[in-house]
Structure 1
Amino acid sequence: MKLRKTVAGLVLLGTLSVAACSADATEAAQTTSTTSTTSTASGSSTTGSSAAEAASGTAFAASRGRGPGGGVDVSSVTTEDELIALVQEAYGDGALDLHRGHQPVQDVLDEVLAISHDELHVRMDAGQNLAAVATDLGIDPQTLVDALVESWSPAIDDLLAAGEITEEEAEQYRQALEEAFTFRVEWDGEQAEPTFSGIGT
């Protein structure tokens, strides 16, 4: 009887871990806020977004996590504000522990690491971050970072082709995306998540 309870508990724990990953994109879309806080000389004030900004932000948030294989659909990025949000999302979500939310990058993790999602969770539950998992598998963590950057770079290329950003700005966004994914791969569970508010800020 005790053995059955232990097995049932382990199965439930595994189910909850997988459920947490699959809920990442949905939760991110549901928690999108349409207010922003700005600092002034006399303090800070909170202002509501315009209807157009709110609609654009909500549409983009809803589209995240819905690309091929459940990943981020980089083709949904049509403005620089959406690109900024995409770079911020590349950092992942620290509330989701070491994996920081696999769903938006699961296809790349599958391809580069070549292990199952469940095995990845077992390794992370044992305290390994993505860099440690890669190293343990004989893969240079930079290879994983490069693959992640490459998978989301089409969003930058599309804005460059549309004339929304310059070549110089595109390169700065690529560097920002690399910094974000490097943070995600190397995160030790302690570092505070940076806030990306655009290039030159």
Structure 2
Amino acid sequence: MTRKLDSKRLVIATHNAGKLKEIGALLAPFGMECLSAGQLGLPEPAETGKTFVENALIKAQAAAQASQIPALADDSGLSVTALGGRPGVYTADWAERQWFEGEPGRDWYMAMGKVEGLLCEQGPEADRSCWFSCVLAIAWPDGDSAVYEGRVNGTFSWPPRGTMGFGYDPVFVPNGRDVTFAQLDPEEKHNISHRADAFAKLVAEQFGG
């Protein structure tokens, strides 16, 4: 049986304010006080894993050790069928500016444009099906951990539409919808997203009867 959270405080191993807000909203009904690694001034560990699971565990374990509080990490990304599953675990890396592209930081519009450019190279018949993956990893300061995986399928759309999401949300149209994640009301996105899928599994195990 997987270990249960016995603390009402949880470190969210992220420096991304959008991700903290989204995860915090999902955990609010369970009385969890969520603090981000950024708020605690924790360093960001190098994400050297080859899979979402490996990277999520790296981040969760680093935050739990540094804070001595149970930590939750999310590693998520966009995979495009026609690109052989890329960018995948390198989803955020595709948004990193090179030295000739301006000040350091992430440029998500540039990242979305890279995907669109590669699809355009394949012509108008390119397969635009894609999926978002999410792995949630909980780590305890003593080394225990648990992992939960979620996924949502959709289509890569261009140009970007909407302002309510983050990352690649403006170009992702989930199956069964005609609008992007960034055009959906946040509550509706919470109900169908890859993160919500992973969270449903986490909640069932951690907070279920």
- TM-score bracket, normalised by the shorter chain, equals 0.3 to 0.5
More strand by proportion, 1 or 2?
2
Bigger relative contact order (CA 8 A; separation at least 6):
1
Length-normalised TM-score, structure 1: 0.32
More helix by proportion, 1 or 2?
1
